[in-house]
Structure 1
Amino acid sequence: MANGNINARTLHELYQQLGLSTDSLQKESGFTIHYLEDTFKNLPFRSEPFRPNYFSFLFIKSAFGHYTIDDQRFEVTSNTVYFTNPGNYRIFEWEQLEHTCLITFGEGFLKEYVHDDVYRDFSFLLSEVVSPRVLTQHQFDQVEELCTQIHKEYKGDALYKNKIIGALVIALLLKIKEYFFQDYNPIYEGNRSSQIVKNFKLNLERHFRDLISGKINTQLRVQDYADLQSLHVNYLSSVISNKTGKPISSWIADKTITEAKVMLQDEALSIKEVAFRLGFLETPHFSNYFKKHTSISPADYRKQYFNSLS
């Protein structure tokens, strides 16, 4: 498997690096929806290899091309749904585009506007590689209607815009779950490396859920995550880095910051309480950690967030 040449944290960054128009994308919420035929005017088009840091759903009503996810190459067909999660190496190739909708979102958007325990109900979001799924015409019509509603809200300026989009995304995820993932368990899919990555993601999610709920008050180290799978710490680190393109320490840091931001948006929680719930013994340590990874202090982040709502 090749290594990704582009590391894009958002779709906006990816399109900029590929020299594509970003006019249809909004940057602020961590969510995007647009129709590819409005962006890819000059076909055929083949992207550079890249590793995004976002989830994506691709709803293909009418198009032809190929999509590479890790070392698997799939042919694009009509009435097809593609799903990919953060970290997968991928390439897309378009020969024809008539009606294709792409939705992307980061974990922060899921936590803030969908559900703070989103992986409990939608465990398929943790999957490494999911083969494209073909919908019946009735199923695709249902999904297309939701995409149309989401796109309308995305382009609008409603007072509770992101909350409305979040509610519609829940409906969309429930439809996808109903059609494809009723009995899905990410642990049992894929090869050994994929299982290790999925186990790590599940363990990471469970650990932070326990931290935030107060069941525990100590952060896990990389060694602890290795012990949970009876693996040598160097082997776990190597698998995570090679499969996702991101060191295990970055996964832990990103998760910590995501959860911190969500809690900082709750005025009832003091910064000291946020630090404690995330396993930091000292508030200054948490503040330094947060500023290291975001370039602003928790207090400034909180101030900016509430100023943006006024």
Structure 2
Amino acid sequence: MSTSLSPPIDVKLNGFTVYEKNVTLQEMAQPRLAAQVFSRRDYYKVLLLESKCLIHYAHQSLELDGQYLFFTNPHIPYSLEMRTDQLHAYACLFTEEFVKAADRSESLQQSPLFRIGSTPLFKLPASQADYVRSIFQKMLTEQEGDYPFKGDLIRTYVQLLIHEALHLQPADTVFQPKNAATRITSLFLELLERQFPIEPPTQQLPLKTPQEFADRLAVHVNHLNKAVKEVTGKPTSAHIAGRILDEAKALLQHTDWSVASIGYCLGFEYPTYFQNFFKKHTGITPLSLRRKA
């Protein structure tokens, strides 16, 4: 039986929940903790990871050994692989509406911790890890309590987590000025992510090729390709294919839609086109992945 870092189904406090998770390797049928289920909804997430593991985020894979604070947004799927017999973590999930209830400042998507293109992972010194853990424990206590203003108090705790992370790097790193190539790459990645997640099976991706993205951004496709390759080291087409592949895996694992319906949503005219694309990039068929999941 697979185990994930997912909380109870009902998100408490109308847009917020916090929980502590201990998972042993023996409790799991497979070594990976698939957490994409919460990329299917509107929850932002902050995790305190305290065990050795491998984290897959967007198109990156990072080895963790120590205590880390990790921020995710609902547009980018991630997963964890255990590198020890037990994984221990704290996590809180919240909607933008919950956090911004008393604040009308910039959107969370514009935050340096949650915006697309960032790597929101911070290694914590032991003393700071103790402090961050205490914040999670206070949120757990308040969540179960009956204090009438606990929502306001928990919002303050979430802001404390955000500021602790911002303190871990200098301001000129967090708010680094962008050159032209970086700006257009950021716009491309944001435009790409805004197409996801696919919710109803009748939804279709509006943009699927570098030319379509270039047209939407009002730039020449060669200019877009050059900028994206310069900034990320990968061509535009690789980012598009990778993101479509991530969405295909999530839909295969977390919906009962037919393979043909999933292929249609992702812009493939015929099911065989989708099957060939999926097998080319993964080495297995869509149905094989679904059976494994």
TM-score range, shorter-chain basis? 0.5 to 0.7
What is the CA–CA distance in structure 1 between the aligned matches of 2:73 and 2:176, rounded to whole Å? 12
Partner of 2:175: 185
CA RMSD of aligned residues (A): 4.7
Q: Does 1:147 align with 2:133?
A: no
What is the CA–CA distance in structure 2 between the aligned matches of 1:23 and 1:86, rounded to whole Å? 15
1:64/1:96 contact within 8 Å kept: no
Partner of 1:46: 32
Q: Quick one: which of 182, 189, 195 aligns to 2:186? A: 195
Q: Deviations 1:190-217 (Å, cap 9, x if unpaired)? A: 978851256659xxxxxxxxxxxxxxxx
Q: How does 1:185-264 map to 2 (within 5 A)?
A: 185=175, 188=178, 195-197=186-188, 229-231=217-219, 243=243
Q: Per-residue deviation at 1:154?
A: 1.8
Q: 1:128 to 1:164 in 2, by over 3 A?
A: same
Q: 1:75 to 1:108 in 2, by over 3 A?
A: same
TM-score normalised per structure 1: 0.52
What is the CA–CA distance in structure 2 between the aligned matches of 1:118 and 1:241, rounded to whole Å? 28
Q: How does 1:24-43 map to 2 (within 5 A)?
A: 24=8, 26-28=10-12, 29-37=14-22, 42-43=27-28
What is the CA–CA distance in structure 1 between the aligned matches of 2:91 and 2:72, rounded to whole Å? 11
1:126/1:198 contact within 8 Å kept: no
Partner of 2:70: 82
Partner of 1:126: 115
The answer for unaligned runs of 5 or more in structure 2 is 193-206, 208-212, 225-236, 248-293
Secondary structure, counterpart of 2:93 in structure 1: strand
The answer for unaligned runs of 5 or more in structure 1 is 1-16, 202-221, 247-310
TM-score normalised per structure 2: 0.54
Given residue 160 of structure 2, which amino acid in structure 1 is its aligned partner? A
What is the CA–CA distance in structure 2 between the aligned matches of 1:186 and 1:104, rounded to whole Å? 27
Partner of 2:286: none
Given residue 32 of structure 1, which amino acid in structure 2 is its aligned partner? T
Given residue 175 of structure 2, which amino acid in structure 1 is its aligned partner? N
Q: Per-residue deviation at 1:232?
A: 7.4
2:21/2:89 contact within 8 Å kept: yes
Q: 1:243 to 1:164 in 2, by over 3 A?
A: same
Q: Per-residue deviation at 1:69?
A: 0.9
Q: Deviations 1:2-28 (Å, cap 9, x if unpaired)? A: xxxxxxxxxxxxxxx966697756424
What is the CA–CA distance in structure 2 between the aligned matches of 1:191 and 1:49, rounded to whole Å? 30
User: Where is the helix percentage greater, Structure 1 or Structure 2?
Assistant: 1
What is the CA–CA distance in structure 2 between the aligned matches of 1:87 and 1:122, rounded to whole Å? 14
Secondary structure, counterpart of 1:93 in structure 2: strand
